[in-house]
Amino acid sequence: MGKVLITGITGFLGSHIAAELLANNIAVIGLKRFGANIWRCEDFKDKITWIDIDADGEYKNYLASISFDAVIHCAWIGVESEERDSWNEQSKNIQFLIELLSIAKSAGIKRFLFLGSQAEYGSISGKISEDEPAVALNAYGSIKLACLEILRTFCSCNDINWVWLRLFSVFGEKENDNWLIPSLVKTMLSAGQKDVTAGEQKYAYIYVKDFAGIIYKILRSEIADGIYNVSSNEVRSIRSLMENIRDQVNPSFSLNFGALDYRNNQSMHMEGDISKLTKNIGEIEFTDFSVALKDTLNYYIKK
pLDDT over 80 (residue 256): yes
Cβ atoms 150, 141 nearer than 8 A: no
pLDDT tens sequence across 284-297: 999 999 999 999 99
What domains can be seen in the chain, in order of their start residue?
Answer: 3-170+205-232+271-281 (3.40.50.720), 174-203+235-270+289-302 (3.90.25.10)
pLDDT value of position 93: 97
DSSP state of 221: S
d(CA 82, CA 262): 17
Identify which has the larger pLDDT, 212 or 61: 212
Nearest to 213 by CA among 276, 281, 148, 274: 281
pLDDT over 90 (residue 266): no
Quick count: other Cβ atoms within 10 Å of Cβ 160?
20
d(CA 72, CA 16): 12
pLDDT value of position 66: 87
pLDDT value of position 71: 98
Looking at the DSSP bridge assignments, the partners of residue 237 are 202
pLDDT tens sequence across 71-125: 999 999 999 888 999 999 999 999 999 999 999 999 999 999 999 999 999 999 9
pLDDT value of position 139: 97
Alpha-helical (H) ranges within the chain are: 12-23, 58-65, 87-107, 139-157, 180-190, 208-220, 238-249, 275-281, 289-302
Q: How many helices (H) and strands (E) does the chain have?
A: 9, 15
| Dihedral-angle region of residue 226 (phi above 0 means left; psi in -120 to 50 means alpha; beta otherwise) | left
pLDDT over 90 (residue 54): no
pLDDT over 90 (residue 175): yes
pLDDT value of position 58: 87
Report, as an integer, the average pLDDT of 272-284.
97
pLDDT value of position 64: 83
Q: With pLDDT > 90 as the criterion, what percentage of the chain qualifies? A: 90
User: Buried b / exposed e across 190-209, counting CB within 10 Å, b at 16+?
Assistant: eeeebebbebebbbbbbbbb
**Confidence class of residue 55 from pLDDT cuts 50, 70 and 90?**
confident
Quick count: other Cβ atoms within 10 Å of Cβ 177?
10
pLDDT over 90 (residue 11): yes
